[in-house]
């Protein structure tokens, strides 16, 4: 039997950060990716969907001043992370992102998997400046999605 998740290879750039001392509307995780990076993440999510529990580790692109400026907030980056471990647990009901050393662990399940994939699809098409809720708890901060630097978005 073929292991589609293990055969996946990352392409493009993926950025993930939090702002230091973020105001209410800027709290939480910020995501950006170039079109190839969006497509690559979506491809991995598709390979995970409906299968058994699995994981893959992605490289995160460095957070530069250009990345931080794209959303229009000039605050410094709170943390720098080198990698993102995407963990698929089929019955996990939320999207959960936790920091561990120099990396992040994003746990997702079948229930909210399509929300994350749709967000990357929107960014791939040039969208940005929107959020998704990582859980049904409306008190949690949304995850915010932005254009990659130099993507041509205004």
Mind listing the pLDDT tens digit for each residue in 96-132?
Answer: 999 998 899 999 999 999 999 999 999 999 999 999 9
**Contact, 78 vs 19, CB < 8 A?**
yes
Query: In the Cβ-directed half-sphere of 133, how many Cα atoms lie within 13 Å?
Result: 8
The pair of three-digit structure tokens given for residue 8, joined into one six-digit string:
């996946």
Beta sheet of 54-59, edge-to-edge order: 54-59, 83-88, 103-108, 96-100
Residue 152 pLDDT more than 70?
A: no
Paired strand residues for 114: none
Question: pLDDT > 90: what percent of the chain?
Answer: 66
pLDDT band at 8 (very low <50, low <70, confident <90, very high): very high
Q: What pLDDT sits at residue 148?
A: 84
* Angstrom distance (rounded) from CA 67 to CA 76: 11
Res. 48: pLDDT tops 90: yes
**Ordered domains of the chain (ranges, CATH):** 14-19+28-147 (3.30.1360)
In the structure, what pLDDT confidence band is assigned to residue 65 with cuts at 50, 70 and 90?
Answer: confident
Q: Is the pLDDT of residue 51 over 50?
A: yes
Instruction: Compute CA 84 distance to the chain's CA centroid, rounded to the nearest angstrom.
Output: 9
Q: Within a 10 A sphere around the Cβ of 97, how many other Cβ atoms?
A: 18
Alpha-helix runs per DSSP H in the chain: 4-7, 35-48, 65-69, 110-124
- Nearest C-alpha neighbor of 36 from the set 11, 57, 59: 11
């Amino acid at each position: 039997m073929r292991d589609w998740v293990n055969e996946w290879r990352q392409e493009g750039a993926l950025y993930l950060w939090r702002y230091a001392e973020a105001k209410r509307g800027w709290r939480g995780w910020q995501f950006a990716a170039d079109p190839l990076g969006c497509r690559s993440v979506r491809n991995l999510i598709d390979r995970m969907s409906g299968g058994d529990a699995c994981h893959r580790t992605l490289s995160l692109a460095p957070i530069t001043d250009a990345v931080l400026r794209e959303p229009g907030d000039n605050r410094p980056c709170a943390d720098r992370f080198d990698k993102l471990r995407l963990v698929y647990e089929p019955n996990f009901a939320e999207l959960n992102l936790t920091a561990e050393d120099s990396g992040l662990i994003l746990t997702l399940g079948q229930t909210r998997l399509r929300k994350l994939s749709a967000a990357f699809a929107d960014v791939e098409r040039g969208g940005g400046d929107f959020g998704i809720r990582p859980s049904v708890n409306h008190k949690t901060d949304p995850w915010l999605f932005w254009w990659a630097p130099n993507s041509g978005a205004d």
